[in-house]
């Protein structure tokens, strides 16, 4: 009995490291949920005067293996329904369901979230609550937020403090609805540095308040080196809510935001970004962001092929 017991103990000693290794590997995602944003098609309509019928876009997504779509406010027709507009919400969800697609997120402006006036910030939270309820009703997992707008007589410290407080409350609202609220800052915004991003997120301090990873913006904030994954590591993959993916060349487009390019057409180390996300255990929605790219269909396919190739390897 003693000899048999010893053999069992020795066998366990050799088996345990292998089991631990398999357990660690199982924590890595098998895939990401692939999506793209209507923002690229909306910007193409305005900037390049192109026509993108919504049924054509959704058919393209369905045929090419995409699982979700992020809505764009006021495009293609009208704004988001209010929570009480149940028939409009039902019709919108039925459209996307018909193509086997999930509306995984909506885009929201956030200028009033850091307004100097307390009444304006309260009104923004009331509006956010309604928009979050709409997002839940239409089947979303996330709500995206972009804090553009000027300081309006505030100091930077005051603006960050007010924005962070609003974001904390937005995190609470999102959490109650089983949503992730995620935000993004861009080079033209008043909040446009890695330090700003970290401080806003840390001060907001809510588990349902996350950050959006967009390589084009991270690249500029990281010195236009083509290595936005370096900043991603410093931010922490665990703090990322979802992805807005694009290639870039480290410049601004026509004085606007970071130039977005199809994967492989810029200087971003795309495989390094994917590897960093994978190693960090990122799970969830990986959205292609074709903002102001002349051919958004081409951008969507190039990014999807890059992700598919990564997981095959």
In a domain, 6, yes or no: no
Residue 12 lies in a domain: no
As to burial, measured by CB atoms within 10 angstroms (0-12 exposed, 13-18 middle, 19+ buried), residue 277 is buried
The CATH number assigned to the domain holding 86 equals 3.20.20.150
Instruction: Report whether 73 contacts 42 (CB < 8 A).
Output: no
* 275 domain-assigned: yes
* β-strands 33-37, 68-71 pairing: parallel
Q: What's residue 137's pLDDT?
A: 98
Peptide bond into 155 cis (omega under 30): no
Q: Which domain holds residue 241?
A: 35-312
Beta bridge mates, 258? 252
Residue 144 covered by a domain: yes
Residue 303's beta-bridge partner residues? Answer: none
| Strand 180-183 with 285-288, pairing | unpaired
Residue 99 within a domain: yes
In a domain, 193, yes or no: yes
**Domain-located, residue 145:** yes
Tokens of 11: 């066998």
Cβ count near 88 (within 10 Å) = 15
Q: What is the pLDDT along the chain (313 residues), one digit of tens a residue?
A: 444 444 343 343 333 333 333 333 447 899 999 999 999 999 999 999 999 999 999 999 999 999 999 999 999 998 999 999 999 999 999 999 999 999 999 999 999 999 999 999 999 999 999 999 999 999 999 999 999 999 999 999 999 999 999 999 999 999 999 999 999 999 999 999 999 999 999 999 999 999 999 999 999 999 999 999 999 999 999 999 999 999 999 999 987 899 999 999 999 999 999 999 999 999 999 999 999 999 999 999 999 999 999 999 8
Assess contact for 282 and 237: CB atoms under 8 A.
Answer: yes
Give domain status of residue 7, yes or no. Answer: no
Q: Rounded CA gap, 65 and 56, in Å?
A: 15
The DSSP line for 256-298 is SSBPPB-TTSSS--HHHHHHHHHHTT--SEEEE--TT-S-HHH
Q: Are 299 and 290 in contact (CB under 8 A)?
A: yes
- CA 186 to chain CA mean position, Å: 13
86, 75, 100: which is closest to 136 by C-alpha? 86
Burial of 238 (C-beta count, 10 Å sphere; 0-12/13-18/19+):
exposed
> If you ran DSSP here, which 8-state letter would residue 65 be given?
T
pLDDT given for residue 27 in this prediction: 76
Q: What ranges in the chain are assigned the alpha helix state H?
A: 2-26, 39-48, 54-63, 86-98, 118-137, 156-176, 194-204, 215-221, 228-235, 270-279, 296-312
Instruction: Compute CA 37 distance to the chain's CA centroid, rounded to the nearest angstrom.
Output: 10
Left if phi > 0, otherwise alpha if psi is -120 to 50, otherwise beta: which for 223? left
Cβ–Cβ < 8 Å for 47, 286? no
pLDDT of residue 28: 85
Residue with tokens 């300081």, as numbered in its chain: 151
* Number of domains observed in the structure of the chain: 1
Output the DSSP codes for 150-164: --TT--HHHHHHHHH
Residue 53 three-state SS: coil
């Amino acid at each position: 009995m003693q000899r048999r017991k010893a053999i069992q103990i020795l066998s366990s000693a050799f088996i345990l490291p292998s089991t631990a290794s398999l357990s660690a590997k199982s924590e890595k995602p098998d895939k990401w949920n692939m999506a793209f944003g209507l923002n690229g098609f909306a910007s193409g309509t305005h900037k390049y005067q192109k026509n993108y019928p919504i049924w054509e876009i959704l058919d393209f997504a369905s045929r090419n293996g995409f699982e979700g779509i992020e809505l764009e406010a006021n495009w293609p027709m009208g704004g988001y329904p209010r929570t009480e507009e149940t028939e409009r919400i039902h019709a919108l969800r039925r459209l996307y369901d018909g193509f086997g697609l999930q509306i995984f997120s909506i885009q929201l402006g956030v200028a009033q979230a850091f307004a100097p006036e307390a009444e304006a910030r309260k009104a923004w939270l009331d509006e956010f609550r309604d928009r979050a309820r709409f997002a839940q009703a239409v089947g979303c997992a996330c709500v995206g937020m972009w804090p553009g707008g000027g300081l309006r007589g505030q100091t930077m410290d005051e603006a960050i403090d007010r924005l962070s407080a609003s974001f904390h409350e937005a995190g609470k609202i999102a959490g109650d609805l089983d949503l992730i609220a995620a935000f993004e800052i861009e080079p033209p915004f008043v909040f446009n540095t890695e330090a700003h991003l970290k401080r806003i997120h840390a001060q907001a301090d809510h588990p349902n308040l996350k950050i959006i990873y967009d390589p084009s913006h991270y690249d500029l904030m990281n010195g236009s080196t083509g290595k936005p994954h370096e900043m991603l590591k410093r931010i922490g993959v665990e703090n990322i809510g979802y992805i807005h993916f694009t290639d870039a060349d480290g410049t601004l487009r026509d004085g606007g935001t970071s130039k977005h390019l199809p994967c492989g057409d810029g200087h971003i180390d795309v495989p390094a970004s994917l590897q960093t996300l994978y190693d960090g255990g990122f799970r969830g929605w990986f959205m292609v962001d074709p903002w102001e790219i002349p051919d958004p269909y081409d951008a969507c396919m190039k990014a999807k092929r890059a992700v598919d190739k990564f997981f095959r390897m």
